Amino acid sequence: MRRKELDEIRTLRSLATEQPNPFSAGLEGKSALDIARVINREDQKVAVAVESALPQIARAIDWIAEALSTGGRLIYVGAGTSARIAALDAVECPPTYNTDPRTVQFVVAGGTKALASAVESNEDSRALGVREMRKKRPEKSDVIVGIAASGRTPFTVAAIEWARRAGAKTVAITSNPDTPLERAAQLAIVVETGPEVVGGSTRMKAGTAQKMVLNMLSTGAMVRLGFVYGNLMVNLHHGNTKLIDRSIRILQQSLALPRGQAKQMLRAAHNDVPAAIVMAKARVSREQAQDALKAARGHVRNAIRRAALSKERS
């Protein structure tokens, strides 16, 4: 084995996420309830670890919101568990916020087939990381987020390095400090989750931390863009009966209307919840509400102000 490979193995073994966890020693001899208690106690440490990275998370939210407001993209890149968690966050944005699927994307080592089955050899290839990122053609208006618990995945590191050279803003999310991924990115979100309950199984605490951070990034950006009114998800996509019912309830809450009137308002807005809110709040027609929303780039509260001001002037 070459010296470089030996050094890499030694480095991996030294990572906090790879260390044995003294709080889960003798796990296989415990009852189901005790196993659950151990995992639960360790999981409670994750939120505390994420809290320490909130300033960096907030900065990333601002970057992403600015990018999306000017037509840029948010692109996640990762391998294995990290990629699957990133893919979940990306594909949930269109049904939650009615965004174009191109707005939030993901790059997975091994391609989309790796979402359903392990293709672990691909994560060791820097060349594949560069190749997959080049396909996305990152630009200055984009934000590229690399996710890796170890912070050392060659595929992800190379992809982030290439995206940064292309001019995109780059963010690293990792559970270990002072790693190649952290150094490759302009902004690092380091959530030190420590040893796993099952040694090295970073789909557990590290994975939970990644899910929490990605939730904050995408949700925070969408809130800043005005796709949330108050704390209601008003820009939702209507794909089934449940979502139509949710739209009615959102109008009931945001407009203080009984259910029957909320249904009427939704029909008048052609099932467009943001337009219905602007129509009701600014007392304008559907066409005026849609014009205001377009001018405000979908920001509901700003659209209400625009529509009301336009009505006063006319």
Active site residues: 92, 123
Classify 248 as helix, strand or coil. helix
CB 220 within 8 A of CB 65: yes
User: In sequence order, what E strands does the chain have?
Assistant: 74-78, 104-108, 143-147, 169-174, 187-190
Dihedral class, residue 139 (left if φ above 0, else alpha if ψ from -120 to 50, else beta): beta
Question: Which phi and psi angles does 107 have, rounded to 5°?
Answer: -120, 125
Dihedral class, residue 178 (left if φ above 0, else alpha if ψ from -120 to 50, else beta): left
Spatial distance between the Cα atoms of 193 and 190, rounded to a whole number of angstroms: 9
Spatial distance between the Cα atoms of 173 and 259, rounded to a whole number of angstroms: 43
Residue pointed to by tokens 């490979």: 5
Q: Which two tokens stand for residue 114?
A: 């790796």
Q: Which two tokens stand for residue 63?
A: 């970057």
Q: Which two tokens stand for residue 256?
A: 């203080």
Sign of the torsion formed by the C-alpha atoms of 12, 18, 22 and 28: negative
Quote the distance between the C-alpha of residue 89 and its chain's center.
Answer: 5
Q: Which two tokens stand for residue 213?
A: 């951070």
